[in-house]
Structure 1
Amino acid sequence: MKNIYKTLFITLFSSLSLGSCTGIDDLQDDPNRALEVPPELLLTQLETRAFNTISLSAALATRQLVFTDGVNSDQYYNWQRSGFNAYEDLKQVQQMVLEAERTEMPAYKSLARFFRSYFITGLTRTFGDVPYTEAILATEGNFAPAYDTQKDIYLSVLNELKTASEELAENGDNIRGDVIYTGDALLWRKLINSYYLRVLLSLSNKTGDADLNIVQRFREVVNNPGTYPVLASAEDNGVLPFHNIEGNRYPLFQNNGLQTAYYMEKTFVDRLKTLQDPRLFSFAQRTPKAVQQNMEVTDFEAYNGLSGSAPLDENVDIAGNGDASMINERYYKEAANEPGILISYAELQFILAEAAYRGWISKDADTFYKNGIKASMEFYNIAEEDINTYLENPAVQLGENAIENILTQKHIAMFMNTGWQIFFEQRRTGYPEFDVSGGGVLNNGRIPKRWMYPAKELTQNRANVDAAIERQFPEGDDINAEMWLVKKE
């Protein structure tokens, strides 16, 4: 069924292609574009865009992988400008709203609230202030939308997500084209409410802001599960499964670079070895030397990584000597492999653990923490006996360094999934530490805090982007500038 929907969508949408240009300057009607598209086909496209979170760039930037075929800007933090391509997705969200109204199918309008929130959150946490109100509700011919403040965007997102969940409790019938939850409105409400908690936690530096009212909003959801259900088990995970069918395969299937140039990062491997974490065997291959010596797959000493901050030539030499572990071959040999994850039960448990530790909710942080670890290990098919042994390991206990330990486990759980989420978590908390001690790191040894605005905005919307830069960043449009979201009160 999932492939039928996708095939139908691709066939139809190939004639509706909008190109790859920036979304802001193409908000007017295209006379060659079909004006009516069934909302279920738009939903399928939005789902495949949002839930496909497999990203090699994110794995390099978050010290999970290392690239050896050249100086990679993600790995060495030589970041520059990013793009506004997500506005293309937001245009499709708005189109789904119009089609939902035309066909009198309100559930799609409610789901649109979630996708609108998801895509705009991705944009604002990347850049800072971005166009929102005028960009999404633009009138014909508006090529220069104003930039909304990041705070206003987050206020809108929080309200939209809450409304989406409440509406689906009333109008969640007749959802077709859904390749994630096959039309189950309750599961969608669980995902939306869990994502709402993620957004609230991302605002942990703003707990004193009365307009946001973060802690009370968080408590309202956790203390009212009947009204605001959340992910209750791994079966509720928000995931996009892949299949061995053309157009539906794992994005890195048969990726040539992954077979030759991607190695495990040393600090990540060392952390797994220190914790005696069996997920390492699922993530990585043994080093060539370990294979030659017939070391067991389950021998932690059979694995080694390359430093993400070391100069390229040093890493090439170590890899050439057979002393580095490549990523597990399943990532490029298995057409299905693991699904793309938008948000998981494991992540939710870590969110709740952090909130409990911070005193936002009157719950046991340790229980949530261990539930998150267990769910992650089950996702990677770790045996129950090994999970229990791991959970009893003194080095794994929540302890006094609770925030660091929660984020460390979240980093492990998000290996090669959930996109850039763990980077933004690290930016928020400082954990886990991303190594910059080697001589290869650019950006003066600093981890960037954002991306610069697209060059196209400087030529087509200069007045508005300049105004946004001036009110946010005294140092100018710089990758090390701190946006409102990052600044502590």
Structure 2
Amino acid sequence: MKRIINYVLIGIITVTSACSKFDEINNNPEATDKVTSAMIATRIIINLANQPTQKSFLQPYMLNKNIVWTEFVEGYQYNGFGAGSLSFTAINDAHFMMEFATTDKLAKSYEGLMYFARAVKFFEATMDLGDIPYTDALKGETDKNYFPKYDTQKDVFLGILQELELADQAFATGENFAGDPLYGGSTDRWRKLVNSYALHVLLHLSKKESDTDLNIKARFQTIIAEKPIFTSNADNYELKRTDKAGQTYPFYKVGNNFTIYPIVSSEIIDRLKSNGDRRLFYYANPSAKRIQEGKLSSDYDAYVGIDPSLVYDNILAIKNTNDYCKLNDRYTEIAEGEPTQQLSYSQLCFTIAEAAARGWINESAVDWYKKGVDASMKFIYENTPNTSQFHHDMPLDAAYRNSYVAALGDSFPTGLEARIEAIITQKYLGSYLQSEFSTYYDYRRTGYPKWKINPASSLNSEAPTKIPVRWKYPSTEFSYNPENVDEAVRRQFNGVDDINQPMWILK
């Protein structure tokens, strides 16, 4: 034992005496030893804009009825909800961006990014759950508050709208900044995003348009009249993909064992076919059975979707006939794929169209509706190789787009509810495999598109004829913050953390 101790002492002495040389040898001259504002900004922006890969990428689109999953029974496809997420760790160090900034104007730009990131994270959490910690959130380090109270959803939305306003003001007085993979640090482009996102948030408060504290109509009007917003697809809140490890399209085939399982849903295919909409030929590959029977890949009748509400065994039976549509090759065969969006110019156009239809603003609902369809088609066309493999000789070229969009004015409904349905349906069709849960939120708010619900296959056991309207609070909250989460559940849902009880914004 003594001999071992002596060897340990010798080792300690050796390491101590050589410490400075050890540090020198192990110092990487290519790496920084100091955290910068730009480094934090890059991590935060990627976290906000990125989407998961492979099967996880497609899970929101199972809930949105974009696709049918054939590996096994999938909860989201059959309206089975569990617990949601309540984590703000991605933004808990956002305030350091200002502290590390080298000029006052840079500090303002990073302040704008901080406010925007906070608004997005709190918006996503409250949209999923209802009441959440807001005022007390992220105060564990500064105030040693490890058990935050839950704010009412109304107060959370008031805070989100205020933070978006502060973000716009900060970017307006800042300067272009480093560390931005989306807009190259352009504060002008970030202002467009912040204000477009604010319109997106305001629309989700449509059931509260008479609330004087929220003042939704006036806020919407001010942004439209006075602030910069998206004006084209060049402004999209999106990540452009590359043929590099970790940067490829989320469902690209390399290393992806799940490409054999998704089928394009009839909720998508039937609507596109009935409208004579060529986006069909970019979203899907034709049915192998119908091609074998002599149909051309450019024939609308060569495309058939599967109803995602069918009992799983019936879906497998149809799959065995080969009479179904796989995803278009552009989703699996092109490493770069298309940019993945969180909010697009097309979606903003539909947001403005709906606000106009509701009478919030003095704009033409049909004109913004047409702009939304055109922007969707143009985005797809410009981000897809112009070959028959990817559009089946039915390109979304300018001549087709102009003709199709012009005709939309003739079919635009006159009644408010019919107009809302038309706008939301086109917004849905333009968001195929984009924007994660966005179209589910629109469905939950408006009831459109009218998705099929089958009680025989539903995993929503308490209400099999309905799609749940929220996720449950995470179990960790009941373990570590029980007093506050229990109070929030009592306040909102009569003490039952129920996926079928509407949150405040839906009442």
TM-score normalized with structure 2 length? 0.85
Deviation at 1:388, TM superposition (A): 2.5
Per the alignment, residue 28 of structure 1 pairs with none
The 1:397–1:131 alpha-carbon spacing in structure 2 relative to 1, beyond 3 Å, is same
Structure 1, unpaired ranges of 5+: 1-10, 14-33
Structure 1 letter corresponding to 2:81: W
The 1:256–1:183 alpha-carbon spacing in structure 2 relative to 1, beyond 3 Å, is closer
Structure 2, unpaired ranges of 5+: 1-29, 382-395
| Equivalent residue runs for 1:138-287 within 5 Å | 138=140, 139=142, 141-171=144-174, 173-224=175-226, 228-254=227-253, 256-287=256-287
Per the alignment, residue 30 of structure 1 pairs with none
- Do structure 1's residue 466 and structure 2's residue 489 form an aligned pair? no
Using the alignment, how far apart are the partners of 1:463 and 1:387 within structure 2? Answer: 56
Deviation at 1:144, TM superposition (A): 1.4
Kept in 2, the 8 Å contact 1:63–1:435? The answer is no
**Greater mean alpha carbon deviation, residues 433-442 or residues 376-385:** 433-442
Per the alignment, residue 37 of structure 1 pairs with 35
Structure 1 letter corresponding to 2:369: Y
Structure 1 letter corresponding to 2:94: V
Deviation at 1:297, TM superposition (A): 2.2
Which protein shows a greater Rg? 2
Using the alignment, how far apart are the partners of 1:308 and 1:396 within structure 2? Answer: 32
Deviations 1:370-407 (A, max 9, x none): 00100000011111122133224469832131100100
- Do structure 1's residue 62 and structure 2's residue 82 form an aligned pair? no
Deviation at 1:108, TM superposition (A): 0.5
| Equivalent residue runs for 1:69-468 within 5 Å | 69-85=71-87, 87-100=88-101, 105-138=107-140, 139=142, 141-171=144-174, 173-224=175-226, 228-254=227-253, 256-381=256-381, 382-393=396-407, 397-400=411-414, 401-437=418-454, 439-443=456-460, 444-468=464-488
SS in 1 for 2:290: helix
Identity of aligned residues (%): 34
The 1:208–1:238 alpha-carbon spacing in structure 2 relative to 1, beyond 3 Å, is same
Q: How many residue pairs end up in the alignment? A: 451
Using the alignment, how far apart are the partners of 1:39 and 1:293 within structure 2? Answer: 60
SS in 2 for 1:157: helix
The runs of at least 4 aligned residues of structure 1 exceeding 6 Å deviation read: 101-104
Deviation at 1:258, TM superposition (A): 4.0
SS in 2 for 1:259: coil
SS in 2 for 1:363: coil
Deviations 1:412-454 (A, max 9, x none): 1111011111110111111111210363122113101000000
**Greater mean alpha carbon deviation, residues 388-397 or residues 322-331:** 388-397
Structure 2 letter corresponding to 1:450: R
Deviations 1:59-99 (A, max 9, x none): 111111000111100110111112224x1212143443544
SS in 2 for 1:437: coil
Q: In angstroms, what is the RMSD of aligned CA positions? A: 2.1
- Do structure 1's residue 481 and structure 2's residue 481 form an aligned pair? no
Match of 1:51 among 49, 52, 74: 49
The 1:133–1:394 alpha-carbon spacing in structure 2 relative to 1, beyond 3 Å, is closer
**Greater mean alpha carbon deviation, residues 72-81 or residues 254-263:** 254-263
Using the alignment, how far apart are the partners of 1:80 and 1:96 within structure 2? Answer: 35
Kept in 1, the 8 Å contact 2:44–2:90? The answer is yes
SS in 1 for 2:286: coil
Kept in 2, the 8 Å contact 1:250–1:336? The answer is yes
Using the alignment, how far apart are the partners of 1:158 and 1:370 within structure 2? Answer: 28
Deviation at 1:162, TM superposition (A): 1.1
Kept in 2, the 8 Å contact 1:262–1:326? The answer is yes
**Greater mean alpha carbon deviation, residues 257-266 or residues 133-142:** 133-142
**Greater mean alpha carbon deviation, residues 131-140 or residues 198-207:** 131-140
